[in-house]
C-alpha cells in the first residue's frame, strides 16, 4: 500500500498513530502536504456520507476526526514552513460560526492563508456573529472568512454580514464563506463577496480581494 493510501486507511480505521506516521512518511517521501490533506478530506467525507446514509454513527465521525487531527498539524507545519516569511498581503479574521464546532476545514484554510502571506486571526469554533464583527473592527481586517458545516448554522453567515453593515464596517471588509453547508447560490443570496469549496480556492479568492491574484 502506498503512503497516501495508508493515510486514507488510517482515517478509515480511526488510527491516530498510523495517520500521524503516514503524514510524516508522506513528507519524507517529498509528497505535497496539501495533496496529503486532500486525501484525508476524501476519506473523512466518505465516513460523513456513511453517517448520513445510516451506515456509520457519531463515534465513527469522532474517531475519524481524531485521526485527522493527529495528522493535520504535521502537514500544516510543513505548509507553513514552505510558505516562508512573506510581506503581509492583508489581514483575515476567520472562524466557524455560532452553533457549529467543525474545525478541521477552517484550520486548513487558515494554514494555507498564512503560508500565502496573510496575517490571520483565527477565532476558533462556535463564534457568535458579534465576536466576528468586534475582531474585524479591532484588527482592521480586510477579509472575514466564515465556515459553516451544518445546514442549521448557515444562517449565521447572513447574521455576520448584517451586523457588519449595522456597525458601518461592511464597505471595508470582504466576506468569504465556505464549509459543507454553503454553496455559491447561498453565498450570493446573503450578499457574501465570495464562496469557495476548497482551502486552496479560499486562498485564490482572498488574493483576488486584495488585488494579489
Of residues 4, 7, 19, 65, which one binds ligand B12 by CB under 6 A?
Answer: 65
Residue 61 binding ligand B12, by CB under 6 A: yes
Spatial CB neighbours of 210, under 8 Å, sequence gap ≥ 6 = 89, 90, 142, 143
* Cα separation values, 108 from 66, 118, 152, Å: 15, 13, 23
Cell numbers that stand for 67 in this block = 485521526
Please report, as residue ranges, which positions from 12 to 51 form the binding site for ligand B12 (by CB under 6 A).
Answer: 41, 44-45, 47-49, 51
Spatial CB neighbours of 115, under 8 Å, sequence gap ≥ 6 = 79, 80, 82, 83
Cell numbers that stand for 130 in this block = 458579534
Please, which residue, 85 or 153, has the CB nearer to ligand B12? Answer: 153
Cell numbers that stand for 124 in this block = 476558533
Please report, as residue ranges, which positions from 73 to 102 form the binding site for ligand B12 (by CB under 6 A).
Answer: 99-102
Please report, as residue ranges, which positions from 126 to 145 form the binding site for ligand B12 (by CB under 6 A).
Answer: 145
Cβ(199)–Cβ(208) under 8 Å?
no
Please, which residue, 18 or 71, has the CB nearer to ligand B12? Answer: 71
- What x-and-dash track marks residues 170-189 binding ligand B12 by CB under 6 A? ------xxxxxx--------
Q: How far is the CB of 5 from ligand B12 (least distance, A)?
A: 18
13, exposed or middle or buried, with CB in 10 Å at 0-12, 13-18, 19+? Answer: middle
Q: How far is the CB of 185 from ligand B12 (least distance, A)?
A: 15
CA distance 93 to 42: 27
- Chain residues binding ligand B12 by CB under 6 A are 41, 44-45, 47-49, 51-52, 58, 61-62, 65, 99-106, 108-109, 145-147, 149-151, 176-181, 196-199, 202
Amino acid at each position: 500500500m502506498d503512503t497516501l493510501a495508508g493515510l486514507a486507511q488510517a482515517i478509515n480505521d480511526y488510527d491516530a498513530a498510523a495517520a500521524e506516521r503516514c503524514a510524516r512518511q508522506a513528507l519524507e517521501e517529498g509528497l505535497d502536504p496539501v495533496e496529503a490533506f486532500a486525501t484525508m478530506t476524501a476519506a473523512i467525507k466518505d465516513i460523513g456520507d456513511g453517517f448520513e446514509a445510516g451506515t456509520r454513527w457519531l463515534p465513527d465521525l469522532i474517531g475519524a476526526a481524531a485521526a485527522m487531527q493527529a495528522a493535520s498539524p504535521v502537514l500544516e507545519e510543513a505548509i507553513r514552513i514552505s510558505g516562508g516569511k512573506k510581506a503581509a498581503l492583508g489581514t483575515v479574521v476567520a472562524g466557524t460560526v455560532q452553533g457549529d464546532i467543525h474545525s478541521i476545514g477552517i484550520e486548513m484554510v487558515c494554514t494555507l492563508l498564512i503560508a500565502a502571506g496573510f496575517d490571520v486571526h483565527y477565532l476558533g469554533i462556535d463564534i457568535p456573529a458579534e465576536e466576528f464583527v468586534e475582531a474585524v473592527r479591532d484588527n482592521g481586517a480586510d477579509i472575514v472568512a466564515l465556515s459553516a458545516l451544518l445546514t442549521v448554522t448557515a444562517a449565521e453567515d447572513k447574521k455576520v454580514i448584517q451586523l457588519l453593515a449595522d456597525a458601518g464596517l461592511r464597505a471595508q471588509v470582504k466576506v468569504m464563506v465556505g464549509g459543507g453547508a454553503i454553496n455559491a447560490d447561498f453565498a450570493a443570496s446573503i450578499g457574501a463577496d465570495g464562496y469557495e469549496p476548497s482551502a486552496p480556492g479560499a486562498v485564490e479568492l482572498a488574493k483576488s480581494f486584495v488585488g494579489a491574484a
